[in-house]
Amino acid sequence: MIKVGDTLPAATLMEFSEVEGNGCSIGPNPVDVAKASAGKTIALFALPGAFTPTCSAKHVPSYVDNFSELKAAGVDEIWCVSVNDAFVMGAWARDQKTGGKVRMLGDGSADFAKATGLTLDLSARGMGVRSNRYSMLVKDGKVAALNVEAPGKFEVSDGATLLAQAKG
């Protein structure tokens, strides 16, 4: 499992973006994790799935609500990573009103989740291999803080916890 001090794994996430006004979309677009995190401070949080109850009601809103404070604490970007395709992540972004605040990045084949060692096997529930729920503060591609949730919990990976770590 990835730990504090480790470099983020080499992976490509996918991002769906919309062009407002003309109904056309851009993407899905590849996001090279190493290039996109180089020289930046990233508040990264991952969760089991788009549109799932805790993820939609609590996890994503905790970062949207703390956006200004995270930016003031030196965070350049906020990333939400989930084992979903970019189109689902784009639809979820619209639903959660994350535009301009949280980058919704799809890890469709769970390559990033597997490379971090933070997978969650939900095959028995018909959901396959997913990402565990966690957050991390990433500085220049290296993990500076890591908060991994116990199964079924939402106690340490919220926006307020990562904000306190960013301020520290």
Q: Which residues are catalytic, by number?
A: 55
Beta-carbon count within 10 A of 133 CB? 27
Burial of 77 (0-12, 13-18, 19+ CB in 10 A): middle
Find the Cα–Cα–Cα–Cα dihedral 70, 155, 54, 168, rounded to 10°: 10
Please state whether beta strands 77-82 and 41-47 pair in parallel, antiparallel, or not at all (unpaired): parallel
Q: Where are the strands (E) in the chain, listed by range?
A: 12-18, 25-32, 41-47, 77-82, 102-106, 119-121, 129-131, 134-139, 142-148
Q: Which two tokens stand for residue 123?
A: 């095959």
